[in-house]
Amino acid sequence: MKKILFIKANPIDTADLRLENEENSIREVLERCEHRNNFVFETRGAVTTKALLNYLLSLSPNILHISGHGSSDEKLFIEGEDGYKEEISIAKLSNLLANFLNHIECLFLNSCHSLAHIEEISDDIPYVIGMREEIPNDTAILFSTSFYNALFNGKSIKDSFKVALDMISLRDFDDELIPRFLDNSDKIPPEGPVTTGPEVVSSGGIEEKLVSQEEIDLVQKQRADKVRFYKRLIVVCVVVAIGISVGTYFISKETLTALGGLLPSGLIALPFKEIEKNKKRIELLTLFKLKRKRFLRALASITDGDIDNLNDEFERIITI
């Protein structure tokens, strides 16, 4: 039987997140599923650091779920003794949980920026779920509810994460890029015989090896700047051509011939060729971003070879 400890962290000096809505949604999902007797869903509110330690010791949860506020420097807001917010380091929280690996399988941080600095999180916890940036409250609730709906109906933690990602992606707001998944399960000794196969990259290392979103955006911006430059060059060439035409009435034929020599025959055609070439690259980069999204969704099946192939494709696009 798996035990989930759901912590509602909403100090009195922070915006109300209506965490009861998230709690009730998860309870409703649990009550409807066939395997509800395989799970225990415990909730606690107004939790201080002392209370959290007591719950870890007395309840021995398999999944620790904390919903609440987080900051961009990867701090979690829980309640102090006076009910006001107390900031705790998520990295240090993960170090604390590493002392409870006899029962902790997953840390689920449904708070903004909780995995913004993913490299600082302890790699001892088998699974860690969090957010890379700010996430809308309704999206956070949909994500967690979908995750537990899949988990309560027999899916693994990893597969439940993928189901939840695909659910929020249906809104088409790119919210599926916000959740992050750390898979350290390869450190858990296998129960059966070991089988070999393609090396699967843990999600924590995927983004370090895969070409980043920032690199793609930078190249797209450079190509767009080039398109704008060559459009301006076309305008300049047109103005010069008009000037030469007008000059036929005032300037001698010899002078016009000399001015015309300043404009090589291929100069007019060049901007159009460059504009077309850079527009094509921008389209390819847009398609590449969509492919990168699909890669990040397929967390369970990405290999080093897949990443190398995608990175090579990016290099080909920018050097065409």
Q: Are residues 110 and 148 in the same domain?
A: yes
Contact between residue 181 and residue 64 where contact means Cβ atoms under 8 Å apart: no
The SS3 call for residue 114 is: coil
* Mean pLDDT rounded to a whole number for the chain: 80
Indicate the residue among 151, 169, 195 that finishes a domain. Answer: 195
- Residue 1 scores a pLDDT above 50: yes
- The pLDDT-based confidence of 247 (bands split at 50, 70, 90) is low
Any domain includes 204: no
Q: Are residues 83 and 230 in the same domain?
A: no
Q: Are residues 46 and 133 in the same domain?
A: yes
User: Average pLDDT of 273-284?
Assistant: 79
Name the amino acid, one letter, at 225: D
- Residue 8 scores a pLDDT above 60: yes
Residue 120 confidence (pLDDT)? 66
Any domain includes 202: no
- The pLDDT-based confidence of 199 (bands split at 50, 70, 90) is very low
Residue 201 confidence (pLDDT)? 44
Domain of 13: which CATH number?
Answer: 3.40.50.1460
Q: Are residues 63 and 185 in the same domain?
A: yes
Q: Are residues 264 and 164 in the same domain?
A: no
Angle formed by the axes of helices 157-169 and 269-297, nearest 10°: 140
Domain span at residue 235? 213-319
Lowest mean pLDDT among 1-10, 12-21, 147-156, 248-257: 248-257
Q: Are residues 167 and 225 in the same domain?
A: no
- The pLDDT-based confidence of 221 (bands split at 50, 70, 90) is confident
Q: Are residues 133 and 29 in the same domain?
A: yes
Stated length of the chain? 320
Residue 135 confidence (pLDDT)? 87
- The pLDDT-based confidence of 145 (bands split at 50, 70, 90) is very high
Residues of the chain with pLDDT > 90, as a percent, come to 35
Q: Which of 34, 37, 148, 56 is nearest to 102 (CA)?
A: 56
Q: Are residues 40 and 186 in the same domain?
A: yes
Q: Are residues 234 and 180 in the same domain?
A: no
Any domain includes 84: yes
State the sign of the Cα–Cα–Cα–Cα dihedral 23, 24, 29, 35: positive
Residues of the chain with pLDDT > 70, as a percent, come to 74
Residue 34 confidence (pLDDT)? 85
Task: Supply 193's token pair.
Answer: 């015989």
46 or 316, higher pLDDT = 46
Any domain includes 191: yes
For 91-138, write each residue's pLDDT tens digit.
899 999 999 999 999 999 998 877 766 556 778 899 999 888 888 889
State the sign of the Cα–Cα–Cα–Cα dihedral 283, 289, 290, 292: positive
Q: Are residues 255 and 284 in the same domain?
A: yes
Indicate the residue among 144, 169, 195 that finishes a domain. Answer: 195
Any domain includes 200: no
Lowest mean pLDDT among 80-84, 140-144, 290-294, 311-315: 290-294
- Residue 80 scores a pLDDT above 70: yes
Any domain includes 201: no
Q: Are residues 170 and 23 in the same domain?
A: yes
Q: Are residues 20 and 69 in the same domain?
A: yes
For 25-38, write each residue's pLDDT tens digit.
999 999 999 889 99
Any domain includes 206: no
Helix (H) or strand (E) segment spanning residue 50: helix 49-59
For 47-78, write each residue's pLDDT tens digit.
999 999 999 999 999 999 999 988 877 788 99
Q: Which of 24, 199, 193, 204 is nearest to 107 (CA)?
A: 204
- The pLDDT-based confidence of 245 (bands split at 50, 70, 90) is low
pTM (2 d.p.)? 0.60
Count up the domains in the chain and report the number: 2
For the beta carbon of residue 103, count every other beta carbon within 10 angstroms.
14
| Residues 271/274/276/278 CA torsion (nearest 10 deg) | -140
Main-chain phi, psi angles of 78, to 5 degrees: -115, 180
For 160-191, write each residue's pLDDT tens digit.
999 999 999 887 767 767 888 888 887 554 44
Question: How, if at all, do strands 127-131 and 106-110 pair?
Answer: parallel
